[in-house]
Structure 1
Amino acid sequence: MKKYRRLKRYWRLLLKYKGDLSYTEYKYYRLFGQRLEVNVVEELLSYDANLKVNYNLYQSLLESIKEKDFKAFENILSTVNLNTVSRYMRTSVKTLKKHLPFIENSLSYPYSNGRIEGINNKIKVLNRVAYGYRNFNNFKSRIMLHFKLKAIISQQKNLFILPLKWQDKQIPNH
């Protein structure tokens, strides 16, 4: 029962990157006492060999992603023995293998569509909260105000949307 409570309470430490764990600062843990974060993780891993195998695989994948080393990532996925990991980790490994070309792109290039996805999500929330606007121009104006954007129309009739802090700067002609 004590092991269960410890695992239930401190499972987030198992998801933390091992390089970010504290090796020097002692902290009081209610179910462990005064310990280092690393010692808490080691004790949690000592409860089950299968958990330790899954943890080591997860940490090696996490490290290769942090280092942006696709070759190491691919090597880890190709050499993992699917019989030794849990059912859930097996599903995750198969999914990662399936999407390997896309993962290579995300590790190779610094581009991300995260900011655009965030903007789309905020627009959807605005739409849901507003229960629909009377006309589209009012809705568009509300979005522009929310994101502090200013629409600028160039000589070629192309629409540029820039943050308000850039409104005084010149836009290059293409």
Structure 2
Amino acid sequence: DIDPELKQTYDVMNRLRETIKNRDWPNYNQAFHPLQGCSEEMLAALQTLAAHHDEIGNTFTHHYTNGPLEGSNNKIKVIKRTGFGYRNFFRFRLRVLFAFRVHTKRALITK
């Protein structure tokens, strides 16, 4: 109650947080309207969200993510980094398959 700018910023942030948590796209768009009296930092963050409006909308409507794929890529890079450069690609491939627990005879054939 002492600082109206802080109160307005807090209210806008909580409205956005709740709409994202509940995946409520119409209310997400309405959370941007009462922006008078917000802090400069909050306005900069809201401009960034507005610049990526379509992409954020896709995350509300579609439940697909690159998370598992990015995790797999990171795991392979860690194996590569800790191996200090495998001389034999097939052994590196075997190590990656072992890390991902791929247990098929065809996958383990090296040549």
**TM-score past 0.5 threshold:** yes
Query: What is the rounded CA distance, in whole Å, between the counterparts of 1:85 and 1:105 in structure 2?
Result: 27
How far 1:134 moved relative to its partner?
0.9
CA-atom RMSD in angstroms: 2.1
Which aligned pairs between 1:16-55 and structure 2 lie closer than 5 A?
48-55=3-10
Instruction: Write out per-residue CA displacement over residues 38-67 of structure 1, whole angstroms, 9 at most, x where no aligned residue.
Output: xxxxxxxx5644333222111111111111
Correspondent of 1:112 among 47, 59, 65: 65
Report the equivalent of 1:58. 13
Number of residue pairs the alignment of both structures matches: 107
Query: What is the rounded CA distance, in whole Å, between the counterparts of 2:27 and 2:42 in structure 1?
Result: 18
Report the equivalent of 2:99. 146
Instruction: Write out per-residue CA displacement over residues 81-136 of structure 1, whole angstroms, 9 at most, x where no aligned residue.
Output: 2x522222111101111111111111111111111111111111221121111122
How far 1:146 moved relative to its partner?
0.9
Find out whether 1:128 has 2:85 as its counterpart.
no
Query: What is the rounded CA distance, in whole Å, between the counterparts of 1:72 and 1:80 in structure 2?
Result: 12
Query: What is the rounded CA distance, in whole Å, between the counterparts of 1:90 and 1:150 in structure 2?
Result: 52
Matched letter for residue 75 of structure 1: Q
Q: Runs of 4+ in structure 1 displaced over 3 angstroms?
A: 46-49, 150-153
Higher helix share: 2
Query: What is the rounded CA distance, in whole Å, between the counterparts of 2:74 and 2:40 in structure 1?
Result: 33
Find out whether 1:91 has 2:44 as its counterpart.
yes
Matched letter for residue 51 of structure 2: K
Query: What is the rounded CA distance, in whole Å, between the counterparts of 2:75 and 2:2 in structure 1?
Result: 43
- 2:4, 2:37 within 8 Å by CA — same for their partners in 1? no
Higher strand share: 1
**Identical columns (%):** 34
User: Structure 2: 5+ residue runs without aligned partners?
Assistant: none
Cα 1:151–1:104 shift into 2, 3 Å? farther
Query: What is the rounded CA distance, in whole Å, between the counterparts of 1:60 and 1:128 in structure 2?
Result: 43
Report 1 or 2 for greater relative contact order, CA contacts < 8 Å, sequence distance ≥ 6. 2
Query: What is the rounded CA distance, in whole Å, between the counterparts of 1:63 and 1:91 in structure 2?
Result: 20
Correspondent of 1:69 among 4, 24, 42: 24
Bigger-Rg structure (1/2): 1
